[in-house]
């Protein structure tokens, strides 16, 4: 299950990277104490344009975690779309972190303990799923639809020409899935109801934001899995 928790999982190397990057300017300098002890200060610091520049200016492998890498980039883009809720940025960063590992793109359950890879199979699996499995499968459909139309939109469009589902299909499925899970008890217990509601109402805008991340920031070749320049 994907959670909005990237900011809770930053590493010591991440904090050092942030502090070192911003220490170049006395006006913007921060201390590790600021980052570690004050959530509001941390969130404000993470919005600094200097961090985006530092991430994008790196040559070769970044010595920061994928959660910091994706959070900084997606937060930078979402701020220009009107999606200013940091939890939405956090959730989408977690989504990119998870799905950048292609094996994690499989559905969590089909009722028989087997992975499900296609949206049609996921929808069939809902017929015999338990309430918890229903939540996980619907959340995965929303996540999957947003990821492939956001990061691999050119592939979706190309396959549409060969009879595969089009962008509208995935947007409708993603929107409906996020709307369905927003009211679920699990979503409420994980403080994700608001995130899912935002993604349901703004699925198209979120997809376009991920298009920009893929095209302008990650420079992905859509025929391959993402090449992410961080150490694992």
- The rounded distance, in Å, linking the Cα atoms of 67 and 3 is 12
**HSE-up (13 A, CA, CB side) for residue 73:** 28
- What is the token pair recorded at 122? 């996921």
C-alpha angle 135-110-232 in degrees, rounded to nearest 5: 80
- pLDDT surpasses 60 at 109: no
- pLDDT band of 215, cuts 50, 70, 90: confident
Residues recorded for the chain: 232
Region of residue 219 (left: phi > 0; alpha: psi -120 to 50; beta: else)? left
When the pLDDT of each residue in the chain is averaged and rounded to a whole number, the result is 82
CB contact at 8 A, 218 and 93? no
Model confidence over 5-25: pLDDT tens digits?
A: 999 999 989 988 888 888 765
Closest by alpha carbon to 112, among 137, 82, 80? 137
Percent pLDDT > 70 in the chain is 80
Boundaries of every domain in the chain: 6-218
């Amino acid at each position: 299950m994907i959670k909005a928790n990237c900011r809770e999982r930053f590493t010591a190397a991440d904090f050092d990277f942030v502090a070192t990057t911003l220490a170049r300017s006395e006006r913007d300098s921060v201390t590790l104490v600021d980052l570690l002890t004050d959530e509001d200060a941390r969130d404000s610091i993470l919005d600094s344009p200097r961090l985006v520049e530092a991430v994008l200016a790196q040559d070769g492998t970044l010595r920061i975690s994928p959660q910091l890498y994706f959070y900084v980039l997606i937060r930078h883009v979402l701020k220009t779309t009107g999606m200013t809720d940091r939890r939405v940025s956090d959730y989408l960063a977690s989504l990119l972190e998870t799905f950048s590992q292609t094996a994690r793109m499989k559905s969590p359950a089909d009722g028989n303990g087997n992975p499900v890879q296609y949206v049609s199979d996921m929808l069939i699996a809902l017929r015999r799923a338990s309430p918890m499995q229903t939540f996980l499968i619907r959340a995965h459909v929303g996540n999957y639809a947003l990821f492939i139309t956001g990061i691999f939109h050119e592939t979706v469009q190309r396959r549409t020409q060969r009879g595969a589902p089009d962008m509208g299909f995935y947007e409708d499925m993603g929107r409906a899935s996020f709307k369905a899970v927003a009211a679920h008890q699990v979503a409420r217990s994980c403080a994700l109801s608001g995130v899912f509601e935002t993604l349901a109402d703004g699925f198209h805008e979120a997809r376009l934001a991920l298009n920009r991340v893929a095209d302008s920031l990650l420079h992905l070749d859509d025929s391959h899995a993402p090449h992410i320049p961080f150490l694992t």
